[in-house]
Structure 1
Amino acid sequence: MTSRQTTPLRALAHDSGFALPATGLSDMLYRLAFGAIGWPWLLYSLWGGTKADKRRLLSRVGLEDDALPHLGSWKADTGFLHRIVDAVEELQPATVVELGAGASSLVCARALQLNGGGRLYSYDQHGAFAHSVEEWLHEEGASAHVSHAPLGAQVPGWPGGWYRLDHVPEQIDLLIIDGPPWSVHPYVRGAAECLFDRLSPGAIVLLDDGARPGERVVASRWRKRWPQIDFQLVAGSTKGTLVGRKASSATILPFPQRKPQRRSHWRRAAAMLALMATGWIGNDVLGGLSEPAHASTIVDEADASFSASLTRQRMASQVETSHLDRTEIRRTTGIDLPALPPAWRVTDVQVYPSDLGTALALVAVTGDGQLVSLFATRAETPAEKLPLLEKRDRRSVAYWEVGPFAYALTGELSPDTVLSLAAEVAAP
């Protein structure tokens, strides 16, 4: 279960002690169609994240360097595991329910120990694996209620076999969905909505692999059926994460039953398979697949945040704050800020709403008296750890990416100066 041991590349085979619901031609065609469309995501999932991200994750939850298995393939990657820790730190939940046990179970259990001591209930379709996970957690000084939940049930409106869930808590503060595998059916994880009426006010839902075609269809249906939950696809992991937040004052009602479709399911699936061959399905049926943010996106956002900061400086009615609390920022926004050079003086720190999601805009004066703004958010961009440079009128913007975080340094300075300052901030 740890990197000291060999873990298989492929997912575990289904238990032989139970039978999945019978599947017909429709389900087979859907799997073929979405397998052909989704192979880039499946290939990308072999990468579980950088070693640095894994070390940072282990440090966050107080685990040894070899406590986790080699991530990637069917296992959660570091980006998704960081999302789990972010949610636990933000909510300090009393009850977490997880569908699909494994590395996420240990990370979540440890995060709960460090943030309020809530209880984790984890369910997995493999009986022997569920038992091994529970023992593994105990060896690492963590605990959770890990149960065997065979894929023998069905949820109305969703294809494929679903977990036979017993003794599920009546109230759920954090719901983690990392199963069943897409090979059961591309839409199978949509059945997790059978638990949405148990979500407490302000609860968070985390769906792994949110950028895959099947999960995008699931997300579209959930948005229509559950308007009380705000679902957003966020970057920062190999296949994206769908994050749902239930409004604190909303009461969730069960979704209405949909009327049966006149066209038979197998004909629809056959049509999808045929359209896929022409490339039409990728854009029109699925509504477009996710791409990383273009470089212009983060540059434009950084430039806009710099303008907003300058405007705030000129207004006596707008309060600036130079207090920089990195722990609070990480806990409430999930954003890690890089260390600033010792000679820099922070003059303003503000949460900034951007098209990339919640961001942070920090204004500082360098040791040479130069005014710069650091923009930080969770995003996937074309950048890497070495800063790249762009110009916006009289401003220079250097941007780079570290793990799930994107940063940009902006100033009305020469390109060489801004690039040099950014390199100083980006240095490990």
Structure 2
Amino acid sequence: MTIIDPVIDADLDAYVDGELDVARRIVVETYLSSHPVTAAKVMADLSIRGELRLALAAAPSTGRAETREAARRLERGLSYDRILSSLQRIAAVAVLVGAGWVAHTSFGAFTATEVSASVPPPLFVEDAVRAYRATKTRDQIASQRAVTAYNADDIRAATAILMPALPQGWSVSDVEVYPSDFGPSVELTINAQGQRLSLFAARPGSFAVEKVNHIALDGVQAAYWQIGEVAYSLIADGKAANLDGQAEQLSRTLY
């Protein structure tokens, strides 16, 4: 079975310029016979090029040199415009492919403190929000008693997760351990001088050092960062005013 290469813009340009061999010219003409819109554009280019060549051939030798040169530039410009158009399309594809590669290799490595809603958050932030909601739901069930005993050293020994030191005046009202893709995660429910916060820590499966970033997700606010193999999220409701500053304060205790 014979495989025929698809007709591309470069073939159409070469067809107009008369640079195709007989076999390829037949392929292009067959393609044009079933694509009337493209055929009309090609015929228009052929007509313009033919008129220019006729004008150049019929022009007397005593004609103005500037006029003949302008016609030649216009003729060359037709080819340049088609080449430039093709290059622009190739460049656009390259940019899109490059952007996709960067997003794939740097997913979650944001440096801004505000994240656009169109950019998905790292997976550990979504886990943190789910843990936050699960704990709030459990708080509404009277028979589910909160675990208030909190010891950062015990958590580190059991999970290999180093928890930040809490500022003075903050207290832990609940401690939960949840499963995650790369081992156990830890969620603390914190009373920060009257404000309810959720501090979530997990292993995201990669090593990085990321500054505090911020995102609004499903009606809650999340400030998140990563130090080494552990990522952290500080979660609060939509009215949180100084969440980034509180997250910065916690992150500094880990260095």
Normalising by structure 1, we get a TM-score of 0.30
Structure with bigger gyration radius: 2
Normalising by structure 2, we get a TM-score of 0.49
